[in-house]
Amino acid sequence: MKKLLGITLGIMTALGGFVDLGQIVFTTQAGALFGYQLMWAIALGTAAIIVYMEMCGRIAVVAKEPVFAVVRDRLGRRLGLAVLVASNLLNLITCAAELGGIAIVLHLLTGWPERLLLVLGAVAIGAAVLLLRFQWIERTFGLSGLMMSIFAVSAFVLHPDWGKLARGFLPAIAQADRRHTLLYAYFAVGIFSALLMEYEVHFYSSGAMEEDWEPKDLNENFMVAALGSVLGAVLTSALLVLGAMLFLPRSIFPQTLSTAVMAGAFPFAKKALVLALLGTLACLGGAAVETALSGGYNLCQFFDLRWGKNLPPKSAPVYTASWIAMLVLAVVLALTGLRPLQLVNISIIFGMVVMPLTYYPILRVAADKGIMGEHANRRSVNIISGIFLVLITIAAIAAIPLMLLTHSGQP
């Protein structure tokens, strides 16, 4: 039973990382533009996040080092501090986007004003984090996020063309013209980046330490990372399929969260709409929690300060103040009038730019036998991880130019 409940850490991390606001709309847009052609980007991103997450969890278990302690020690204090600032800015932007998405979903459910619901939603999330222990936070948001399964059921019921879907696992290099080629590249990089959002890995690594995992739990670490990531990938694939089946034939480009969510309930009409909205709300709430807590984790781990959700707030004052400040600043940012999708597009693209600077130190430590001993990367894992590092670096270099050339993916 303990191991079964422990899997909810992976479920929450996957659903909050894979299926957050950006992934819901971004992947649906990709399907609306390119059909099934970008299934390969989902598969590639899923494999990369499993490798990355498993290494982070293994380092946390064996070396007792969280991500930003590794970043500081391997990159040096000056460069590490720059990565810390960039990562926490991304956490802030993403948290603001998720809170904005929560307000939209609550507005659809209640009809109340979005700005009021934004504040109320943030207060509810803050209260949940303050009152619940880490294990109950992950179980509550992780298991309630399973309501997102309605999107997978809807995609299956609509009977996609399985042959075209299978061919989507092979990259389609040829596009209609230069504009479509740039858009194709932009959405490929965006999907890959959205699957590798940093905060989900930072949260996962810190969660492994919060739950006092030991080397005997390493099999569970792999199972949690793999199961959670595959579940997230299935739901992400369903979003792309719904975009391809519902929006592409009608030449509709979904630019709002509400449009994308409606697709999840399409075959069942009103019967499933509330379920789709509640599942979306749980995932956005999980992502908001992860980004807020990750801000506190990152700061305290870098400066060797006491941290931990299960510690009394007074015994970890900087950590507590950090995640509360992250949540408050996210509310302020969301109230400025910036649209949630504007914020999430920024976080996805700039998250890819920062990614190599956190992935590389983790790979070095995971491969270091002096630190990891018998639990160091095997040669095959080093080769696979090195390939992903090259791909991440290429995507990081291409991300901003593609964003500018495509005007953030506008067709």
SS (H, E, C) 178-214: HHHHHHHHHHHHHHHHHHCCHHHHHHHHHHHHHCCCC
CA gap 244, 26 in Å, rounded = 13
Percent with pLDDT over 90 in the chain: 70
Average pLDDT over residues 38-59: 96
Burial class (CB in 10 A: 0-12, 13-18, 19+), 277: buried
Identity (one letter) of the amino acid at 139? R
- Confidence bin at 297 (pLDDT 50/70/90): very high
Which of 374, 369, 57 has its CA nearest to residue 214?
A: 57
Percent with pLDDT over 70 in the chain: 95
Tokens of 134: 């880490």
Identity (one letter) of the amino acid at 297? Y
CA gap 10, 233 in Å, rounded = 13
Length of the chain: 411
From 2.40.50.140, 1.20.960.40, 1.10.1040.10, 1.20.1740.10, which CATH number describes the 2-405 domain?
A: 1.20.1740.10
Q: What is the residue-averaged pLDDT of the chain?
A: 91
What is the structure's pLDDT at 374? Answer: 95
Q: Are 195 and 30 in contact, with CB atoms under 8 Å apart? A: no
Tokens 């670490």, residue?
221
Average pLDDT over residues 256-285: 88
**Computed over its alpha carbons, how large is the radius of gyration of the chain?**
20
- Confidence bin at 108 (pLDDT 50/70/90): very high
Nearest 5°: phi and psi at 162? -65, -30
Q: First CA to last CA across the chain, in angstroms?
A: 49
Note the pLDDT tens digit of each residue in 8-38.
Answer: 666 666 565 567 887 888 899 999 999 999 9
CA gap 90, 314 in Å, rounded = 27
Average pLDDT over residues 332-356: 92
Which of 5, 2, 20, 73 has its CA nearest to residue 347?
A: 20
Which of 367, 370, 381, 63 has its CA nearest to residue 222?
A: 381
**Upper half-sphere CA count for residue 341 (Cβ side, 13 Å):** 18
What is the structure's pLDDT at 352? Answer: 95
Residue 293: partners with Cβ closer than 8 Å, 6 or more residues away: 129, 203, 206, 309, 323
Tokens of 79: 């460069």
What is the structure's pLDDT at 133? Answer: 86
Q: Are 106 and 281 in contact, with CB atoms under 8 Å apart? A: yes
Residue 225: partners with Cβ closer than 8 Å, 6 or more residues away: 10, 50, 53, 54, 57, 204
pLDDT above 90 for 107: yes
- Return the sign of the alpha-carbon dihedral for residues 41, 43, 44, 49: positive
More confident position, 99 or 262: 99
Average pLDDT over residues 44-59: 95
The SS3 assignment for 388 reads helix
The pTM of the full predicted model, rounded to 2 decimals, is 0.94
Tokens 């109950």, residue?
136
